[in-house]
């Protein structure tokens, strides 16, 4: 079977935004709430407080986003919800009024598309919230509700708010505020399919699917893909699956997943023994123990052999997200780790995703701390910002970094060297994660163009016929072309 994935994703650099925390609009807009009690923007985020970021604020920051070289945005949920992260959906057809409602979203979609920036929304289709109309009707009318079969009711009475009695309905991770849909009910299935179609018709460019592995109904995701792609064959469908995703990446379901199988080893290699284990507790990716270059190479080659190449090119690669601590905090403040990992991220096949604020060194521990307000310019790490801009620009400049083949050339101790090649374009990337500079000689016979111009970073290269001599400073990386 010929697998087809959206071409634009292969050339995309994503920016992940948590809308309550990115930007507040400074312009006057008609709002439902004019004197809302927001949490202080720079204080530590709480589980239930809002900081008042909105979609108009994001529109005002599109110049900044574009200046990074970003050409796609993935938003965590923006539908009406009674939580700051909006994974508790109340109404899938309404953008949350705190974010500016459907009007602000339409403005944002148009403004982004004018700049050739794609928009991907978060689809939370496994569970809804206690506040969604259908479940609320059950809470009001018990077994008499016509919507009883839309959820997995196990007995009466339901106990949605108190832990003293059994909940009597299935909820995600046993969180009572998140009742799970009954996807085996054809009406529920149709309801979800129509939501997916509706927003693609409105103009979004794809869906990121929350915990899709929880939906076990046969054929569900195949139908989802068929119906979304019937409207827009280039819509991106990316699932949140943290491990081996072969069962969803068969070309009939998702175009890619959030590639935590890249994240884990990349952090283990670049951060090494700096990893603060408290910051990775309970997360489904392996960032410890530290990896040497040869072990990292093995993990990367295993990953690249796991899925078809057409799928590899549309994986969503990341170093952090709203579900993890931020890399700079995992690495105990070590900026070099962030630089090394970002170099590996932006030279890897698939679409890189930058979590808002990572590009300016925003710290943050496990949820909710990883969802801080975007910092004021006075707190930006300008060196990291420049690094992101430079590497994103390099990625856009060289097609080999986007769709070229990936070949490990040398991996010993702390030095990892690989090549990206496309037709007559060839780049060599070298990363030294060690505390001392490294000199190495090895055979470069597979490289036809003999890359020797330094395009990024610091390092020295010498060619002697087919033999390469490299010198790479401590804790640094470079790109030769």
CA–CA separation, 353 and 327 (whole Å): 13
Query: Would you say the C-alpha torsion 299, 301, 306, 309 has a positive or negative sign?
Result: positive
Structure tokens at 262: 């890249």
Cβ count near 93 (within 10 Å): 12
Please return the burial class of 274, using the count of CB atoms within 10 Å of its CB with bins 0-12, 13-18 and 19+.
Answer: middle
210 in active site: yes
Enter the DSSP assignment of 84.
S
Query: Would you say the C-alpha torsion 270, 274, 277, 280 has a positive or negative sign?
Result: negative
CA–CA separation, 352 and 94 (whole Å): 29
What pLDDT was estimated at residue 24? 95
Q: What angle do CA 345, 66, 110 make, to 5 degrees?
A: 120
Which positions ≥6 away from 6 have C-beta within 8 Å?
Answer: 206, 233, 234, 235, 236, 255, 314
What pLDDT was estimated at residue 31? 84
What pLDDT was estimated at residue 337? 98
What pLDDT was estimated at residue 477? 98
pLDDT at 35 over 90: no
Task: State the average pLDDT over residues 365-372.
Answer: 95
pLDDT tens string 155-209: 999 999 988 999 999 999 999 999 999 999 999 999 999 999 999 999 999 999 9
CATH code of the domain occupying 403-480: 2.60.40.1180
Residue of 20, 96, 205, 210 marked active site? 210
Indicate the pLDDT class of residue 41, thresholds 50, 70 and 90. very high
Contact present, 450 and 463 (Cβ < 8 Å): yes
Q: What angle do CA 295, 299, 303 make, to 5 degrees?
A: 165
pLDDT at 34 over 90: no
pLDDT at 298 over 90: yes
Instruction: Indicate the average pLDDT of the chain.
Output: 96
CA–CA separation, 296 and 414 (whole Å): 10
Q: Which of 419, 401, 422 is nearest to 410 (CA)?
A: 419
Which positions ≥6 away from 152 have C-beta within 8 Å?
Answer: 169, 170, 179, 180, 182
Contact present, 242 and 258 (Cβ < 8 Å): yes
310 in active site: no
Task: State the average pLDDT over residues 266-280.
Answer: 96
- Work out whether strand 89-95 and strand 256-257 pair parallel, antiparallel, or are unpaired: unpaired
What pLDDT was estimated at residue 240? 97
pTM of the model: 0.97
Structure tokens at 138: 């059950």
pLDDT tens string 219-260: 999 999 999 999 999 999 999 999 999 999 999 999 999 999
Phi and psi torsions of 113, nearest 5°: -65, -35
Indicate the pLDDT class of residue 453, thresholds 50, 70 and 90. very high
CA–CA separation, 473 and 456 (whole Å): 13
Contact present, 245 and 259 (Cβ < 8 Å): no
Residue of 20, 240, 358, 359 marked active site? 240
Find tokens 């290269």 and name the residue.
461
Helix (H) or strand (E) holding 429: strand 425-432
Structure tokens at 366: 């496990």
Contact present, 466 and 409 (Cβ < 8 Å): no
- Percentage of the chain surpassing pLDDT 90? 93
Find tokens 């890189």 and name the residue.
352
Task: State the average pLDDT over residues 318-341.
Answer: 98
The DSSP line for 205-244 is -EEEESSGGG---TTHHHHHHHHHHHH-TT-EEEE---S-
What pLDDT was estimated at residue 363? 97
pLDDT tens string 52-85: 999 999 999 999 999 999 999 999 999 999 999 9
- Percentage of the chain surpassing pLDDT 70? 100
Q: Which of 461, 480, 457, 481 is nearest to 471 (CA)?
A: 461
Bridge partner list, 74: 16, 120
What pLDDT was estimated at residue 445? 82
What pLDDT was estimated at residue 428? 97
Under DSSP, is residue 395 helix (H, G, I), strand (E, B) or coil? helix
**CATH architecture, range 7-126+183-397:** Alpha-Beta Barrel (3.20)
pLDDT tens string 373-418: 999 999 999 999 999 999 999 999 999 999 999 999 999 999 999 9
Domain ranges of the chain: 7-126+183-397, 403-480
Which positions ≥6 away from 168 have C-beta within 8 Å?
Answer: 153, 154, 155, 156, 157, 158, 159
Contact present, 428 and 455 (Cβ < 8 Å): no
């Amino acid at each position: 079977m010929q697998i087809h994935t959206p071409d634009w994703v292969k050339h995309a650099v994503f920016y992940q935004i948590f809308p309550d925390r990115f930007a507040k609009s400074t312009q006057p807009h008609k709002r439902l709430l004019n004197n809302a009690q927001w949490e202080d923007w720079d204080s530590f985020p709480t589980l239930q407080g809002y900081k008042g970021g909105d979609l108009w604020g994001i529109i005002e920051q599109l110049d900044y986003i574009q200046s990074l070289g970003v050409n796609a945005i993935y938003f965590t949920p923006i539908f009406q919800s009674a939580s700051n992260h909006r994974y508790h959906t109340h109404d899938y057809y309404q953008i949350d009024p705190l974010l500016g409602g459907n009007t602000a979203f339409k403005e944002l979609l148009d403004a982004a598309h004018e700049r050739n920036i794609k928009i991907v929304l978060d689809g939370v289709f496994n569970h809804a919230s206690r506040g969604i109309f259908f479940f609320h009707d059950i809470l009001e009318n018990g077994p008499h509700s016509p919507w009883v079969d839309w959820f997995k009711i196990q007995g009466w009475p339901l106990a949605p708010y108190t832990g003293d009695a059994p909940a009597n309905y299935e909820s995600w991770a046993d969180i009572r505020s998140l009742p799970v849909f009954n996807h085996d009910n054809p009406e529920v299935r149709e309801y979800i399919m129509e939501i997916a179609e509706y927003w693609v018709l409105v103009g979004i460019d794809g869906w990121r699917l929350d915990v899709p592995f929880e939906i076990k109904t046969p054929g569900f995701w195949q139908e989802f893909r068929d119906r979304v792609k019937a409207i827009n064959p280039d819509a991106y469908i990316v699932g949140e699956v943290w491990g081996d995703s072969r069962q969803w990446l068969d070309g009939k379901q998702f175009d890619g997943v959030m590639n935590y199988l890249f994240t884990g080893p990349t952090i283990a290699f670049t951060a090494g023994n700096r990893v603060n284990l408290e910051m990775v507790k309970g997360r489904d990716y392996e960032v410890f123990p530290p990896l040497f270059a040869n072990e990292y190479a093995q993990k990367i080659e295993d990953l690249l052999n796991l899925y078809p190449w057409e799928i590899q090119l549309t994986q969503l690669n990341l170093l952090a997200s709203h579900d993890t601590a931020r890399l700079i905090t995992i690495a105990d403040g070590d900026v070099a780790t962030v630089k090394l990992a970002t170099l590996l991220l932006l030279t890897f096949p698939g679409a890189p995703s930058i979590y808002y604020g990572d590009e300016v060194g925003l710290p943050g521990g496990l949820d909710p701390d990883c969802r801080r307000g975007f910092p004021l310019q006075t707190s930006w790490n300008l060196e990291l910002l420049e690094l992101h801009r430079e590497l994103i620009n390099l990625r856009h400049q060289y097609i080999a970094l986007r769709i070229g083949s990936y070949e490990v050339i040398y991996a010993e101790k702390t030095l990892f060297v690989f090549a990206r090649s496309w037709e007559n374009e060839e780049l060599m990337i070298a990363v030294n994660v060690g505390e001392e500079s490294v000199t190495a000689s090895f055979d470069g016979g597979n490289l036809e163009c003999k890359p020797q111009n330094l395009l990024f970073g610091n390092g020295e290269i010498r060619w002697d016929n087919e033999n390469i001599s490299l010198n790479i400073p401590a804790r640094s990386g470079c790109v030769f072309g």
